[in-house]
Amino acid sequence: MEWTVIGGGPAGIAAVGKLIDAGVDPAKIGWIDPHFQVGDLGKKWSQVPGNTKVELFNRYFEHCQAFAFKSRPKKFKMEEIDPNETCLLQYVVEPLQWVTDHLRKKVHAKEEMALELFLEKGGWEIKLQKGSIFSKNVILAIGSDPKALFHPGPETIGLEVALDPNKLQKAIQSNDTVAVFGSSHSAVLVLAKLLETPVKKVINFYRSPIRYAVHLKDWILYDDTGLKGFTAQWSKKYLDGELPPRLERMLANDPAFEESLSTCTKAIYAVGFERRKLPILKQYEHLHYDDKTGIIAPGLFGIGIAFPRGKFSPLGHLEYSVGLWKFMDQLNLMLPFWQKYANA
Ligand SMILES: Cc1cc2nc3c(=O)[nH]c(=O)nc-3n(C[C@H](O)[C@H](O)[C@H](O)COP(=O)(O)OP(=O)(O)OC[C@H]3O[C@@H](n4cnc5c(N)ncnc54)[C@H](O)[C@@H]3O)c2cc1C
């Protein structure tokens, strides 16, 4: 293979599409994912309300020629939603699955896990569960997992359960006191959904003030860290307004933290994401990616939530860009560099 993309989430889909747009012969592109079901977005987050406008999702689909979005057999539900509104992520998963199925027919797709990468003969040997592939260049789009904290005592509810209202309803009993850690988009969503269950009490342990995104003429202040849409409205009304009767908030370094936590029967950690374990790279002890270019090593590049681009806002804040359109935009910028930095 000339190029192989590891990961079939939104970033991997964009990477395959943009390689084809850049003139790489699809017959020389490999694509590896164990499921090809739109990554974590498809498997875990489809019931999550998005925080970006539908217009940005439309831009993602229409921007890449290889997606052939114009040839879709019918309009997707997402396209019936006002582009200035946000939507449940499931509406984005449907067209992403269609694009995945379309691209899989063009390239060499393998339903497998990449287990190991080995640099040799000016390229990468990718060890799979069954056999291996040699590829001159590799793009890692392997995604991230919710960060795991652990406090002994309360039973942990996984974030993928907490962010799915049906699963959450089943996981909560009326005698539960639930600890929710964090104050980001995911944490606020969890708080709002928990209070729709018969939960007895919710305690939100947090470290810093809520931050809100501000839409300006040409850019968004706190675009990647601030609350937007539903979570911003909810938070202004309840967290920074009047706390609902069953909700308590406490700083995580409050002297009463241990005592309060000991009253909790369940805990949900919504404290960010961390890069999923890389396929093993034998030659390198430390592996860093350049957060401005996505370059990891010769012929090895990273994209998506696992390798977000560090970007300065016009006021000088460094934020890490995550989101479908941002992945596409990063590829526009980075792929020309990657092609020059590629293994010969
Ligand atoms: C609460 C929440 C709200 C969000 N809201 C928005 C929003 O409003 N707008 C927006 O644009 N996005 C939103 N997102 C989605 C966001 O863009 C995600 O970060 C996105 O799913 C990341 O895509 P990815 O392709 O980088 O990773 P993933 O979707 O995690 O895909 C990674 C893929 O790589 C595969 N993989 C991993 N390791 C290997 C291996 N060794 N071999 C083979 N395959 C491997 C995995 O199986 C998976 O299929 C939201 C996400 C969350 C959690």
The string of pLDDT tens digits covering residues 25-52 is 999 999 999 999 999 999 999 999 998 9
Residues with Cβ within 6 A of ligand 1? 6-12, 32-34, 39-41, 45, 48, 50-52, 89, 113-114, 141-143, 163, 185-186, 276, 279, 304-306, 322-324
Identify whether residues 236 and 280 lie together within a single domain: no
From 227, 246, 269, give the residue that closes a domain.
269
Contacts of 207 (CB under 8 A, 6+ apart): 183, 251, 252, 253
Least Cα distance to 250 among 181, 198, 201, 302 occurs for 181
CB 223 within 8 A of CB 56: no
The rounded Å distance from CA 247 to ligand 1 centre is: 30
Tens of pLDDT, residue by residue over 156-185, are 999 999 999 999 999 999 999 999 999 999
Identify whether residues 300 and 212 lie together within a single domain: no
Least Cα distance to 108 among 205, 25, 223 occurs for 25
The rounded Å distance from CA 110 to ligand 1 centre is: 19
For the residues 297-312, what does the mean pLDDT come to? 95
H/E run at residue 280: strand 280-281
pLDDT of 281 > 80? The answer is: no
How far does CA 157 lie from the centroid of its chain?
A: 19
Identify whether residues 193 and 279 lie together within a single domain: no
Identify whether residues 76 and 176 lie together within a single domain: no
> Tell me, what's the pLDDT at 75?
93
> 């860009």: which residue's tokens?
321
Identify whether residues 222 and 152 lie together within a single domain: yes
> What is the C-alpha separation between 136 and 119, in angstroms, rounded?
9
Identify whether residues 85 and 192 lie together within a single domain: no
Stated pTM of the model: 0.95
pLDDT of 131 > 70? The answer is: yes
Identify whether residues 36 and 170 lie together within a single domain: no
Nearest CA to ligand 1 atom 21: 41
For the residues 323-342, what does the mean pLDDT come to? 95
Could you tell me the two tokens for 78? 């997402």
Which residues constitute the domain of residue 161? 148-269
**Count: domains in the chain:** 2
Q: How many helices (H) and strands (E) does the chain have?
A: 10, 21
Ligand 1: nearest atom to the Cα of 304: 26
Tens of pLDDT, residue by residue over 203-250, are 999 999 999 999 999 999 999 999 998 999 999 999 999 999 999 999
16-30, 117-131, 138-152: range with highest mean pLDDT? 16-30
Identify whether residues 140 and 286 lie together within a single domain: yes
pLDDT of 148 > 90? The answer is: no
Could you tell me the two tokens for 302? 């990273």
Identify whether residues 242 and 295 lie together within a single domain: no
The rounded Å distance from CA 143 to ligand 1 centre is: 5
For the residues 83-89, what does the mean pLDDT come to? 94
From 216, 246, 269, give the residue that closes a domain.
269
CB 270 within 8 A of CB 182: yes
Contacts of 152 (CB under 8 A, 6+ apart): none
Identify whether residues 221 and 118 lie together within a single domain: no
For the residues 279-295, what does the mean pLDDT come to? 83
From 241, 269, 297, give the residue that closes a domain.
269
Identify whether residues 141 and 278 lie together within a single domain: yes
Residue to substitute in 45, 54, 185, 327 for testing ligand 1 pocket (most ligand atoms within 8 angstroms of CB): 45
Identify whether residues 98 and 58 lie together within a single domain: yes
By three-state DSSP, how is residue 331 classified?
helix
By three-state DSSP, how is residue 310 classified?
strand
At 344, is the pLDDT very low, low, confident or very high (cuts 50, 70, 90)? low
| Burial of residue 50 (number of CB atoms within 10 Å: 0-12, 13-18, 19+) | buried
Instruction: CATH number of the domain at 185, please.
Output: 3.50.50.60
At 284, is the pLDDT very low, low, confident or very high (cuts 50, 70, 90)? confident
